[in-house]
């Protein structure tokens, strides 16, 4: 197996492990903490971060797998979460050309936009369709707390992704130099 294929498989396994870890924390640990009235959406943060750092294709692939996990365990219509997360991965991949390692303002802005878009999608599909029209209540009690938690978590998680990305790139460069 060539070096490039091994490196790609290694990245896919690492990304898959990150998606499973984020899903486990989001669905298994955060609901058990009674202090949180809402929890950060780790899969959304992961999807938009991958899209922003690596481009639309990686963001869409991450969004697809994260969405499939959510669809499998949510009990709702299959493809509901996959659709929005694939779009989020694609949308954030457009901003890859503005990606800089130490620039945190754009990822925070993208997190806010993605979180609001994600929650409006859920509001329209789950509440508005059933004639529950109290958007103000939903916005204040669900959207704003989740947005704030996600922004705070993004500050830390995004930096961890950047460090992991740099480390993987250095490892790949080192292996490439040893082979050549």
Of the listed ranges 6-10, 29-33, 54-58, 171-175, the one predicted with least confidence: 171-175
Return the pLDDT at 1.
63
- C-alpha separations of 132 from 52, 126, 127, 143 in Å: 34, 9, 5, 16
Total count of residues recorded for the chain: 180
Whether the pLDDT of residue 69 is over 80: the answer is: yes
Whether the pLDDT of residue 99 is over 80: the answer is: no
Return the pLDDT at 139.
87
Q: What is the pTM of this model?
A: 0.87
Structure-model confidence comparison of residues 177 and 64, the more confident one: 64
Whether the pLDDT of residue 6 is over 60: the answer is: yes
Topology at the third CATH level for domain 3-179: Arp2/3 complex 21 kDa subunit ARPC3 (1.10.1760)
Of the listed ranges 22-26, 36-40, 81-85, 134-138, the one predicted with least confidence: 36-40
Taking all residues of the chain, what is their mean pLDDT, rounded to a whole number? 86
pLDDT tier at 81, thresholds 50, 70, 90: very high
Can you say whether the dihedral through the CA atoms of 43, 38, 157, 18 is positive or negative? negative
Q: Backbone dihedral region of 38: left (phi > 0), alpha (psi from -120 to 50 degrees) or beta?
A: beta
Return the pLDDT at 11.
83
Averaged over 40-66, what is the pLDDT?
92
Whether the pLDDT of residue 179 is over 60: the answer is: no
Structure-model confidence comparison of residues 159 and 69, the more confident one: 69
Whether the pLDDT of residue 50 is over 70: the answer is: yes
């Amino acid at each position: 197996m060539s070096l490039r294929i091994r490196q790609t498989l290694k990245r896919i396994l690492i990304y898959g492990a990150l998606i499973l870890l984020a899903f486990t924390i989001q669905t298994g640990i955060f609901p058990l903490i009674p202090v949180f009235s809402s929890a950060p959406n780790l899969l959304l943060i992961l999807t938009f971060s991958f899209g922003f750092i690596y481009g639309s294709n990686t963001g869409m692939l991450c969004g697809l797998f994260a969405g499939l996990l959510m669809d499998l365990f949510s009990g709702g219509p299959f493809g509901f979460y996959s659709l929005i997360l694939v779009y989020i991965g694609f949308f954030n991949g457009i901003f890859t050309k503005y990606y800089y390692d130490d620039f945190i303002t754009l990822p925070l802005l993208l997190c806010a936009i993605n979180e609001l878009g994600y929650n409006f999608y859920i509001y329209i599909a789950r509440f508005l369709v059933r004639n529950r029209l109290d958007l103000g209540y939903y916005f204040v009690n669900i959207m704003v707390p989740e947005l704030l938690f996600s922004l705070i978590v993004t500050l830390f998680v995004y930096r961890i992704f950047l460090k992991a990305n740099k480390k993987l790139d250095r490892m790949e460069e080192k292996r490439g130099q040893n082979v050549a």
